[in-house]
Amino acid sequence: MKTTQLEKIVLILSPDEWHGHSSETVWAEKVGEGRYRLRSVPFYAKGLSFGDVVNTRTQDGKEVVHGVSLRSGHSTYRVFIKAPIEVGSSGFDRAWRPIQDLGCTYERATEHLIAIDVPSSADLDAVYALLESGEAAGVWNFEEGHCGRGSNTSQ
């Protein structure tokens, strides 16, 4: 069985945004010369989601993203967990479980920040409503990083 080798690629960010970072690295699978499929969920970059195929150029020995080649149809949301609620707490679990049941997963950056991957097969309206419900309940705040609805096409 062949295992997929993942590499880190660089996403350029505006340091003027809320996060203050000028770049972010994500895991990706090489699918061609200067083309990579994202295999992790971006925490800070907007306009990208898990599974998107991006174009890269080598800069200073690193692969840097310079555009999207193919959209996966996935969506990305960032959730800012309010203190003292943490991942694994009953408040978070109650709010998260219905989202997970719709096929979503998350990656955790810090104790307060997670990035949610919403697959194209998930009911995006239902996921969004549940994110709003968690926000209304005071569990988290959230923002959309990328809406992949209807965007699984070449660009």
> Hey, what domains does the chain have and what are their CATH numbers?
6-70 (no CATH), 75-146 (3.30.70)
pLDDT band at 21 (very low <50, low <70, confident <90, very high): confident
CB-based contacts of 120, cutoff 8 Å, min separation 6? 72, 73, 74, 148, 152
The model's pLDDT over 56-92, given as tens digits with 9 standing for 90+, comes to 999 999 999 999 999 999 999 999 988 655 556 677 8
Give the three-state DSSP class for 18: coil
Pairing of strands 53-59, 62-70: antiparallel
Q: Which residues pair with 146 in a beta bridge?
A: 76
**Cis peptide bond prior to 84, omega within 30° of 0:** yes
Q: What is the pLDDT, as a whole number, of residue 154?
A: 47
The model's pLDDT over 132-143, given as tens digits with 9 standing for 90+, comes to 999 999 889 999
Identify which of 12, 25, 14, 28 has the alpha carbon closest to the alpha carbon of residue 66.
Answer: 12
Q: What is the pLDDT, as a whole number, of residue 82?
A: 81
pTM: 0.88
For 111, the token pair is 């104790």
